[in-house]
Structure 1
Amino acid sequence: MRKISSFFEKHAFGVCEWWGEKLQLKISRIRLFFIYTSFLTFGSPIIIYLIMAFILEHKEYLKLSKRKTIWDI
């Protein structure tokens, strides 16, 4: 069981870790939230998790350049 959990922790997308840092919550609580809501809602949070993982993996490509004023186009 330890090998399986360490594999997923090493190769996971880091969505729960990112949310944990932003919200100052334990990562295990966020993971449990995703697991329990996935069972209750028949897997729809998994789709949301994958969308968040895609955004986190490609955030440098999705960021818009910061403009100082509205006239800097």
Structure 2
Amino acid sequence: MEKVKYFVENQAFGVCTRLGEKFKISTSSIRLYFIYTTFITMGSPIIIYLILAFWMNIRRYLRQRNNPTVWEF
């Protein structure tokens, strides 16, 4: 079970983990918030989650593009 949890947390978008680190809130409570609000509002937090994930990936891409490694020249 730990291997599955580790895989999901590292290979998924990491939005909840990033928000937890930023606001110093436990990651599990943020995940529960997303789950509960998704059921209550019929799925609209999923859109917010995907937008945040997209934004995090774009920022990572732009950082890599501005700081190329030796092998990318």
TM-score range with shorter-chain normalisation? 0.7 to 0.9
Deviation at 1:5, TM superposition (A): 3.6
> Secondary structure at 2:42's aligned position in 1?
coil
Whole-Å separation in 2 of the counterparts to 1:43 and 1:8: 21
Structure 1: any 5+ residue segments left out of the alignment? 63-73
Residue in structure 1 matched with residue 36 of structure 2 by the alignment: 36
Q: What are the superposed Cα offsets for residues 13-50 of structure 1, whole Å, 9 maximum, x if unpaired?
A: 01101110111000000000000000000010001000
Matches within 5 A, 1:40-59: 40-59=40-59
Q: Normalising to structure 2: TM-score of the pair? A: 0.72
Distance in 2 between residues matched to 1:39 and 1:6, nearest whole Å: 25
Cross-structure match for 1:27: 27
State which structure, 1 or 2, has the greater radius of gyration over its C-alpha atoms.
1
Matches within 5 A, 1:1-20: 2=1, 4-20=4-20
Q: Distance in 2 between matches of 1:24 and 1:14?
A: 15
Q: Distance in 2 between matches of 1:6 and 1:39?
A: 25
Q: Tell me the residue number matched to 1:71.
A: none
Q: Return the offset for 1:7.
A: 3.4
Q: How many residues end up aligned between the 2 structures? A: 61
TM-score by length of 1: 0.72
